[in-house]
Copies of this chain bind each other. A is one copy, B any other.
Amino acid sequence: MNNEAIKDSSAVGRSWEEVRKEIFTSEEIAESNLRVALIGEIIKARQEKGISQKKLEELSGVKQPIIARMEKGSTSPQLDTILKVLAPLGKTLAIVPLEQK
């Protein structure tokens, strides 16, 4: 995706959020939001422990570039990868009810 074009959308009078709604379905947006929120929690958990990506590579066995891509949201990581990264942070995944607002 072209990030320059995205930033420039404001130049033609529309916010990125407006453009986004035209390009993606509401399901895609909802899912993307969930993904971003989950990844955000992983980043927070890592930073709260004061652990670098390199250190987390040692602890989890997942390579630093993978962790970087995962945190940047440029991949949709596999379940195993997420679980490996979460374990040394003292976290795991759980299935919970979806509350819609």
Give me the interface of A with B, judged by CB distance under 8 Å.
Answer: 27, 30-31, 34-35, 38, 41-42, 45, 61, 76-84, 86-87, 90-98
Most chain B CB neighbours (cut-off 10 Å) among A42, A77, A78: A78
Q: Quick check: A86 and B61 within 8 Å, CB to CB?
A: no
Task: Choose from B81, B82, B96 the contact partner of A94 (Cβ within 8 Å).
Answer: B96
- For the complex, what is the distance from the CA of A90 to the CA of B95, rounded to whole Å? 10
Q: Quick check: A83 and B45 within 8 Å, CB to CB?
A: no
Q: Quick check: B87 and A30 within 8 Å, CB to CB?
A: yes
Which residue of chain B has its CB nearest to the CB of A90?
B98
- For the complex, what is the distance from the CA of A42 to the CA of B30, rounded to whole Å? 19
Task: Choose from B77, B86, B95 the contact partner of A41 (Cβ within 8 Å).
Answer: B95
Q: Quick check: B96 and A35 within 8 Å, CB to CB?
A: no
Task: Choose from B38, B78, B84 the contact partner of A93 (Cβ within 8 Å).
Answer: B38
Other A-B pairs beyond A34-B93, A77-B79, 7, CB < 8 Å: A41-B95, A42-B95, A79-B79, A86-B98, A92-B96, A92-B97, A93-B93
